[in-house]
């Protein structure tokens, strides 16, 4: 894993930098320098100056990248351990401590998660996906199937662990994801529709994002029988609808919306 703090500290001390001849500027750069010296288009001192300025550019670029990286980049790197190639690996499977447990929350039972993580190591990939290669299965597909695995008594074997993974995956990983959601919101709740209830707004946002991610238009969408049954006189009970919308915790709905964008990314 990339230790951002150690790298940031190392860049503060120029005396600790490698000499110019030890810096890897790339094969094309080194070839061009050699040609310039051979043809005498540049003197040795001029080549040294070019290398010096190039090294300063590289160090400056490193500092700028560090400034733009999130402080929790180490936690985000742990997400790779949830992929099928990692969690279902028989030999190189990461330990429980290498999971992004910082995102589990204060009320999560880590003992249950660890127990289920150890049980996951006893499963064979072929038993879960008999007709698919492990490289063809996405992270979400993997954990959707794992959430369905049951014991002999009918209980879900990885319920808490899969719930934890789904919560982690719904977190936005960049400002761009959040900005997209707000962009859709601004085009949905306009000045002419400023009295739209929160419940209706969230529903419309989820519909728009869902159709965009799955690449289909409303003209080709076929509603189910359950959807049609919901179109009754109760939808005109606006007072009750607004009260319900205000009393509900919309945090889960927002996370579901962000998850759709994360899948697209």
In order of 7, 241, 247, the CA distances from 244 in angstroms are: 51, 5, 5
Judged against a pLDDT cut of 50, whether residue 265 lies above it is answered with no
With a pLDDT cut of 70, the percent of the chain lying above it is: 85
Mean pLDDT confidence for 93-120: 87
Judged against a pLDDT cut of 70, whether residue 81 lies above it is answered with yes
Per-residue pLDDT tens digits for 34-62: 898 888 888 888 888 998 999 889 888 88
- Burial of 161 (C-beta count, 10 Å sphere; 0-12/13-18/19+): buried
What is the DSSP-derived secondary structure letter of residue 44? H
Q: Which residues, 6 or more positions from 184, have their beta carbon under 8 angstroms from its beta carbon?
A: 205, 208, 209
b/e code 45-64 from CB counts within 10 Å (16+ = b): eebeebbeebbeeeeeeeee
Per-residue pLDDT tens digits for 167-194: 888 877 667 777 888 888 888 988 888 8
């Amino acid at each position: 894993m990339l230790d951002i703090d150690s790298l940031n500290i190392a860049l503060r001390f120029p005396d600790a930098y490698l000499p110019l001849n030890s810096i890897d500027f790339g094969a094309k750069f080194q070839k061009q320098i050699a040609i310039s010296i051979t043809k005498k288009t540049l003197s040795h001192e001029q080549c040294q100056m070019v290398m010096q300025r190039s090294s300063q550019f590289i160090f400056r670029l490193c500092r700028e990248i560090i400034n733009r990286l999130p402080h929790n980049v180490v936690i985000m790197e742990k997400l790779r351990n949830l992929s099928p190639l990692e969690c279902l690996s028989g030999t190189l499977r990461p330990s429980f401590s290498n999971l992004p447990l910082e995102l589990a929350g204060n009320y999560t039972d880590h003992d249950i998660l660890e127990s289920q993580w150890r049980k996951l190591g006893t499963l064979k990939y072929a038993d879960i996906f008999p007709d698919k290669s492990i490289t063809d299965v996405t992270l979400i597909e993997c954990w959707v199937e794992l959430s369905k695995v049951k014991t002999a008594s009918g209980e879900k074997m990885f319920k808490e662990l899969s719930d934890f993974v789904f919560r982690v995956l719904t977190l936005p990983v960049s400002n761009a994801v959040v900005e997209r959601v707000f962009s859709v919101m601004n085009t949905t709740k306009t000045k002419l529709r400023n009295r739209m209830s929160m419940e209706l707004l969230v529903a419309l946002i989820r519909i728009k994002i869902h159709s965009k991610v799955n690449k289909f238009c409303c003209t080709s969408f076929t509603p189910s029988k359950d959807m049609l049954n919901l179109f009754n006189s109760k939808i005109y009970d606006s007072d009750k609808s607004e009260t319900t919308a205000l009393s509900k915790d919309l945090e889960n709905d927002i996370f579901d919306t962000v998850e759709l964008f994360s899948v697209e990314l």
